[in-house]
Structure 1
Amino acid sequence: MHDHAPSRLVSGTPEFRRLNRALFAAGFSTFAILYCVQPLLPEFSREFEVSAAVSSLSLSVSTGLLAVAMLIAGSLSEVWGRKPVMVASLLASALLTILSAAAPNWTSLLLSRMLIGITLSGLPAVAMAYVSEEVDPKSIGLAMGLFIGGNAVGGMAGRVISGVLTDLGSWRLAVGLIGTIGLASALAAWRSLPASAHFRPRRADPADLLRSFAEHLRDPGLRGLFAEAFLLMGGFVTLYNYLGYRLTEPPYSLSQTAIGAIFAAYLVGTFSSAWIGALAGQLGRRRVLWAMIAIMLAGVALTLFSHLALILAGIVAVTFGFFGAHSIASSWVGNRALGAKAQASALYLFCYYLGSSAIGTLGGVFWTKGGWPGVAGLVTVLLAGALAVALWLFMLPPRTTEQAQAKS
């Protein structure tokens, strides 16, 4: 009995449900901590007397450092194991978030947000690799969709809690509470996440790790998926970053609570990531990816109207398309990479957060110079590029382990 490798987790079993609960909680907290500052950007501009682009650094420094640190965290998890890296990451990030709520000035707030970017890096790429190792291939689409759903709910809850508590008390109260929720999630992940049964540690050999990065970058399909991550996330985060500025101004003059509530559109993302992830498993990823990006483009066009209902419909469409596309592309990376899957996931997420960081701040310049049409124009160009890449991926032949073995 003990000679056999343990079986992988299959949907419908108690272990699979436990794994999903723990991963959902971990994804929830990671994204609540990362994005709780997004609706607070106009608030930071007022309290610390900084411009929209400078205020957006409170998010961009976190996502930028997260992008770089994830390349290292993914590699460390190949040596130390998946679960220890994930739990330590959540715990450190939660404690830093509680500290950031007491930041006396803009510089110290930015410094704490930089450190949060580094500590959070241990979760996203490692979780993707953990799922691809521990879960039965037929259940991976669902497990990954639910993890990304947790990300979506966390991103939404972080923003909604921030908006409401900022109106009721202060942004410091909001950020402190989100840090406390993070502590609870770290405890839940430590207690509930099954220990790795299929993980094989590797030696800490930097040359070996660099070789596996180079191997991934040689595959045109993976390069295309990495480009998608950059373009889609860059466009998505830019839209949400400057929406708050647009809607706090006349004729809308919305409160922080109302702007936070708009992030409830993320619930659509939770639904679409799981549903589209499963649908792509049936119809084929290449057939569904481009359609998601087309939905995002239609949504951006709707935000150009001045009627609030049309703007909100546009945001919902962009959110639906984005989470569907991200769910497809991220699971495609794990499927297409032939080995060192944590590194492949880390490269995908490096590009994803690099897009968030670079384009998210660049959008501030477009907002200052061109208002909302400037922001929407920038996002349209990015999504048009993403659509072109998706159509190119559609025509690319699949890459299978058998093909790779035949060639070698």
Structure 2
Amino acid sequence: MLPTTCLPCFLVNVMRVSMPRVAVATAGFAAMLNMYAPQAVLPLLANEFGVGPASISQIMTVNALAVALTAPFTGIVADVLGRRSVIAVAMVLLIIPDVMMAFSDSLEALLFWRFAQGLLLPPIFAVSVAYIGSEWPAGEATGVTGYFIAATAFGGFLGRMLTAVLAEPFGWRHALFAQATITALCAITIIALLPRERNFVAATTLAASLRQMVKHLRDTRLLATFCVGFGIMFNFIAAFTFIAFVLAAPPFNLSAAAIGAVFVTYLISLVTTPFAGRLVKHFGRRNFGLIAIGIWICGILLTLVPSIAVIVLGLALFAGSGFLVQTCCQSFVATYVREGTSSAIGLYVTSFYIGGSFGGLAAGLLWNVWGWPGTVGLIVAMLVFMGAMIRYAWRAA
């Protein structure tokens, strides 16, 4: 038994170790909660505004595009001003578009506020990853990143599930207002728990940070990893946007709440990603990434089977393997880069969300011609490309 005089010291040490992890996990949770909240109710919103699947999918596309546009510049600013300050300010400002979305009276207004919301996500998501890379030793960073990715997965799930469950009895506006309330609580948590950086070395000027970004763009291993990031979000937006329309149509005819429940498959990552660090050490980053790609392909192919149970299994494999690859990518960038980490993560997030924008657009075009089988074929082709990039980028990682 510990002496009673040691108990306060023990509790202080536990809090000192746990609080930063809770704070960065909350940041990841909040970012993905906001990113994905409308996805499960897209069929309801299509009926509300009188448009088709390809048009209403712009709600996801404009958000991803806004993230892609601001992510690299967020990294430059964070490298100068400090990461904690950027994360905290962005979390507070995010409450504004969240609330305004709930009061939107047209699709155009909703798209505007979704774009504004997207502008504020990189200072939360990307800068948090850079914070992890600089504040934890390389041996721990992959594990902490795993917890961060698990939190993003839970945020993505809860965002979809919450809006789906609340939209039917109370309407989509009340569902989005509930999302804004959760965002406010997350902002308070981050401000209270996230400590100031201990290992942060600020770039002397914005120009110096920009030069570091140019240096990153000349690194072929980073560029290949950025391509993998592009494919990750491409696949997630393509799959989870249009599978909702598959499940809402015959022979399934699922309600919004039931479709939201299908997104419980996201929770598989809560089990898998915390072990990513150990698995990478055991198999090596490249081998483990290729194994995950193989499982990912199997998962998306299973969604072609006209059975709810098999589709759910396929989506679980799809989500679980996708988040494992995401963990490998983010931890590689955060630990591989020694200077200008925020700008490197910013470039990664830019490629990640450009992929999301193209995923929604390309899948929408194929959906109009070949339906869900065309979308699946597109995703498989992207996964093959990602496997080739992993073989090159992580050859010694």
Q: TM-score, normalised by structure 2?
A: 0.94
Aligned AA for 2:171?
S
Partner in structure 1 of residue 372 of structure 2: 372
C-alpha separation in 2, matches of 1:158 and 1:35: 6
Secondary structure of the structure 1 residue equivalent to 2:153: helix
Secondary structure of the structure 2 residue equivalent to 1:122: helix
Partner in structure 2 of residue 390 of structure 1: 390
Q: 1:84-233 residue pairs with structure 2 within 5 A?
A: 84-206=85-207, 208-233=208-233
Partner in structure 2 of residue 326 of structure 1: 326
Partner in structure 2 of residue 17 of structure 1: 18
Partner in structure 2 of residue 404 of structure 1: none
Whether 2:299 is the aligned partner of 1:303: answer no
Asked if the contact 2:46/2:52 (under 8 Å) is kept, the reply is yes
Q: How much does 1:45 deviate?
A: 1.1
Asked if the contact 1:296/1:318 (under 8 Å) is kept, the reply is yes
Partner in structure 1 of residue 4 of structure 2: none
Post-superposition CA distance 1:97-123 (Å, at most 9, x none): 011101011111111111101112211
RMSD of aligned Cα (Å)? 1.4
Post-superposition CA distance 1:263-312 (Å, at most 9, x none): 11111122222212331134321121111011000111111111111111
C-alpha separation in 2, matches of 1:354 and 1:48: 26
Partner in structure 2 of residue 72 of structure 1: 73
Post-superposition CA distance 1:61-112 (Å, at most 9, x none): 1111111111111111111111111011111112210111010111111111
C-alpha separation in 1, matches of 2:19 and 2:283: 28
Whether 2:381 is the aligned partner of 1:381: answer yes
C-alpha separation in 2, matches of 1:94 and 1:202: 29
Greater mean alpha carbon deviation, residues 104-113 or residues 194-203: 194-203
Post-superposition CA distance 1:168-190 (Å, at most 9, x none): 21111111001110001001100
Partner in structure 2 of residue 401 of structure 1: none
Q: How much does 1:210 deviate?
A: 2.8
For structure 1, list consecutive stretches of 5 or more residues without a partner in the other structure: 1-11, 399-408
Post-superposition CA distance 1:115-162 (Å, at most 9, x none): 101112211111111111111222211211111111110000000001
Secondary structure of the structure 1 residue equivalent to 2:338: coil
C-alpha separation in 1, matches of 2:360 and 2:21: 30
Asked if the contact 1:53/1:362 (under 8 Å) is kept, the reply is no
Secondary structure of the structure 2 residue equivalent to 1:323: helix
Partner in structure 2 of residue 4 of structure 1: none
Q: TM-score, normalised by structure 1?
A: 0.91
Q: Identity of counterpart residues, as a percentage? A: 28
Aligned AA for 1:222?
L
Secondary structure of the structure 2 residue equivalent to 1:123: helix
Post-superposition CA distance 1:12-32 (Å, at most 9, x none): 843221111111222111111
Q: How much does 1:228 deviate?
A: 0.4
Whether 2:29 is the aligned partner of 1:28: answer yes
The one of the two structures with greater contact order (alpha-carbon pairs below 8 A, sep at least 6) is 2
C-alpha separation in 1, matches of 2:14 and 2:129: 20
Provide the aligned length of Structure 1 versus Structure 2: 385
Asked if the contact 1:26/1:185 (under 8 Å) is kept, the reply is yes
Asked if the contact 2:168/2:257 (under 8 Å) is kept, the reply is yes
The 1:157–1:16 alpha-carbon spacing in structure 2 relative to 1, beyond 3 Å, is same
Aligned AA for 1:343?
S
C-alpha separation in 1, matches of 2:230 and 2:220: 16
Aligned AA for 2:230?
F
Post-superposition CA distance 1:326-355 (Å, at most 9, x none): 001110111222311111111111111110
C-alpha separation in 2, matches of 1:338 and 1:21: 25
State the 4+ residue runs in structure 1 displaced beyond 6 angstroms: none
C-alpha separation in 2, matches of 1:336 and 1:201: 18
Partner in structure 2 of residue 351 of structure 1: 351
For structure 2, list consecutive stretches of 5 or more residues without a partner in the other structure: 1-12
The 1:130–1:57 alpha-carbon spacing in structure 2 relative to 1, beyond 3 Å, is same
Partner in structure 2 of residue 402 of structure 1: none
Partner in structure 2 of residue 6 of structure 1: none
C-alpha separation in 1, matches of 2:242 and 2:359: 12
C-alpha separation in 1, matches of 2:278 and 2:393: 19
Greater mean alpha carbon deviation, residues 112-121 or residues 385-394: 385-394
Asked if the contact 2:241/2:360 (under 8 Å) is kept, the reply is yes
Asked if the contact 1:237/1:356 (under 8 Å) is kept, the reply is yes
Asked if the contact 1:129/1:341 (under 8 Å) is kept, the reply is yes
Aligned AA for 1:393?
A
Aligned AA for 2:135?
E
C-alpha separation in 2, matches of 1:365 and 1:242: 11
Q: How much does 1:397 deviate?
A: 4.0
Asked if the contact 2:24/2:148 (under 8 Å) is kept, the reply is yes
Partner in structure 1 of residue 248 of structure 2: 248
Asked if the contact 1:149/1:274 (under 8 Å) is kept, the reply is yes
